Amino acid sequence: MPAAAPPILVLSPESPQGRLAGPALKQRLSELRRSGCRGVVVNLEDVRDVDLVAIGWLVEESRCFRRQAGRLVIVEMAEHLREQCARVGALSGLELFSSQEEALGALAGG
């Protein structure tokens, strides 16, 4: 039986060449949610480019967390990535914070 996840976790996805892509992110988020983690902060500080499929996964996992009374939030998303998400209508499905500290405070406060 896998160990239970902490209630709040900060995840800084590996991003080869600064690109966020691949099914590993979705798998990791799903595992965290299923293991009982109620809050995930995805730090995109080192991400310079995002695969639109990965954005879709973040939106979908965010919805799944909310359905289970949890939250998945994004921090340190570069402005050009926000614009890219806005063009495809994904911003409304994401909860964004400018800093990790701000996001952790929001998650801890409910």
The pLDDT of residue 61 is 92
Is 1 within the bounds of a domain?
no
Residue 39's DSSP bridge partners are 8, 71
Range of the domain at 17: 8-108
The pLDDT of residue 67 is 94
CATH code for position 99: 3.30.750.24
The pLDDT of residue 46 is 85
> Tokens at residue 8, please?
């709040």
Q: What is the DSSP letter of 36?
A: T
8 A C-beta contact, residue 51 and residue 84: no
CA distances from 13 to 30, 67, 87, 88 (A): 14, 23, 23, 22
> Which residues of the chain are modeled with pLDDT < 50?
1
The pLDDT of residue 17 is 67
Is 2 within the bounds of a domain?
no
The pLDDT of residue 28 is 87
**Residue 5, number of CB atoms within 10 A of its CB:** 17
Q: How far apart are CA 40 and CA 55, in angstroms?
A: 15
Is 3 within the bounds of a domain?
no
Is 28 within the bounds of a domain?
yes
Q: Supply the pTM of this predicted model.
A: 0.85
What is the domain count for the chain? 1
Q: How far apart are CA 15 and CA 38, in angstroms?
A: 24
Is 35 within the bounds of a domain?
yes
